[in-house]
Amino acid sequence: MRSGVWRFRELVLQATDEEIVTHPEGNTPLLSRSAVANYAGVEELLLKHEGHNPTGSFKDRGMTVAITQALRVGARAVACASTGNTSSSLSAYAAQAGIPAYVFVPEGQVSRGKLAQTLAYGARMIRVKGDFDECLRVARDVSARLGVYLVNSLNPFRIEGQKTIVFELLQQLDWNTPDVIALPAGNLGNTSAFGKALVEAHALGLIDRIPRLLAVQAQGASPFAQGFAEHFSRRVHVQAETRATAIRIGNPASWDRAVRAIRDTNGTVVAVSDEEILEAKRVIDRCGVGCEPASAASVAGVRKLMRSGEVDGSERFVAVLTGHVLKDPDAGDTPDDATPALSAEAALHLVARDLER
């Protein structure tokens, strides 16, 4: 099957071809760009670009499975809380499946690209006063009281689909494991999925050792990094604030499963500042790859880990880029509207002068 999720069906969900709702998704590239490796200070750093999925983020891998399962159980409607990517993905897959979708988003905190996308595919968008954590409370309540099928990553079928990011990247490396896999961490569904995938791949003998996970949070939304520093002795909640709106989450839902993922992989958790995230994004953008701000946290995290001296630059790193550059059009350079537009002749002169420099 052409889907990069369903070709691993035996490790995901035993659904029949007729049952599966697929775009298709997955089969994303594993890119090598020396500028990014140099920036992070390591010899080998590959970028697994999940922004190449149909709706521009890794969420499609979990959503194809969750919506397939929603149809199998005869759900009357589906719902999620979201910072914008899950809602875009849900909206697209629900449209394909012909099932009504409700999405709860934090008012004023979702990027323009994601809002436009979620609305375009036709989901009913409900803006909620409060942050993502509040939206998730509402979504859980709606699900419990009204019998609507919840597809946040609390839904185990989402996690099963997201495991294929790891299976696919290991396959692209001919099952030679890297030393470290870095990913941005918000609600911690993906961290959980990566841990589960690695343990399963190892148990099946597909890989002979388990690489370390590096979960990277934005400083202003880093309860999991704080928890890690305290050996996960308690569950930490914070009031989240970061320009990487995708991971602006203070009370991650998949905490326990993610703790297990970090322990099972001898993993580590770091926090990086918004400045570090945006600096890393610029390096990724400028080499022609591009990603949304939250995604750049993975590369910023590798750089931070290197600088801490905890890892050695000769280790092999993979950083996952979770979302497409167009997701957040206001995060990168924006056209300078203050400068007046030029006539054709003036534009020609400007280029001529520029080339002479």
User: Does the protein bind ligand F0G through residue 187 (CB under 6 A)?
Assistant: yes
Binder of ligand F0G out of 190, 219, 222, 251 (CB under 6 A): 190
* Cα dist from 72 to 67, 87, 148, 324, whole Å: 9, 21, 14, 31
| Cβ contacts of 330 within 8 Å, gap of 6 or more | 111, 112
C-beta separation of 88 from 157 below 8 A: no
- Is the CB of 212 or the CB of 248 nearer to ligand F0G? 248
Q: Does the bond joining 252 to the residue before it have cis omega, within 30 degrees of 0?
A: no
HEC profile for 144-213?
Answer: HHHCCEECCCCCHHHHHHHHHHHHHHHHHCCCCCCCEEEEECCCCHHHHHHHHHHHHHHHCCCCCCCCEE
For 123, which DSSP code? -
AA letter at 99: I
| Residue 180 vs 253, nearer CB to ligand F0G | 253
Tokens 């775009």 belong to 23
Using CB under 6 A as the criterion, what x/- string covers residues 103-142 for binding ligand F0G?
A: ----------------------------------------
Interface map 282-321 toward ligand F0G (x if CB under 6 A): ----------x-xx--------------------------
The closest alpha carbon to 139, from 83, 79, 88, belongs to 79
Q: Quick check: helix, strand or coil at residue 304?
A: helix
Query: Nearest distance from residue 159's CB to ligand F0G, in Å?
Result: 9
- Residue 86 binds to ligand F0G (criterion: CB under 6 A): yes
**Residue 69 or 322 with smaller CB distance to ligand F0G:** 322
Angle at 304 between CA 255 and CA 277, to 5 degrees: 75
| Binding status of residue 259 toward ligand F0G by CB under 6 A | no
Q: Which segment (9-17, 80-88, 138-146, 204-212) binds ligand F0G by CB under 6 A?
A: 80-88
Interface segment toward ligand F0G; rule CB under 6 A; list 64-72, 81-89, 164-172, 173-181: 81-89
Least distance CB 244 / ligand F0G (angstroms): 8
Rounded-to-integer distance, Cα 321 and Cα 65, Å: 21
Instruction: By CB under 6 A, name the one of 55, 143, 222, 322 that touches ligand F0G.
Output: 322
Binding mask 50-69 for ligand F0G (x = CB under 6 A): -------x-x----------
Site membership for ligand F0G, residue 184 (CB under 6 A): yes
Q: Which residue has the tokens 């589960």?
A: 196
Footprint of ligand F0G on 153-182 (CB under 6 A) = 153
Residues binding ligand F0G (CB under 6 A) = 57, 59, 82-86, 153, 184-191, 246-247, 292, 294-295, 322-323
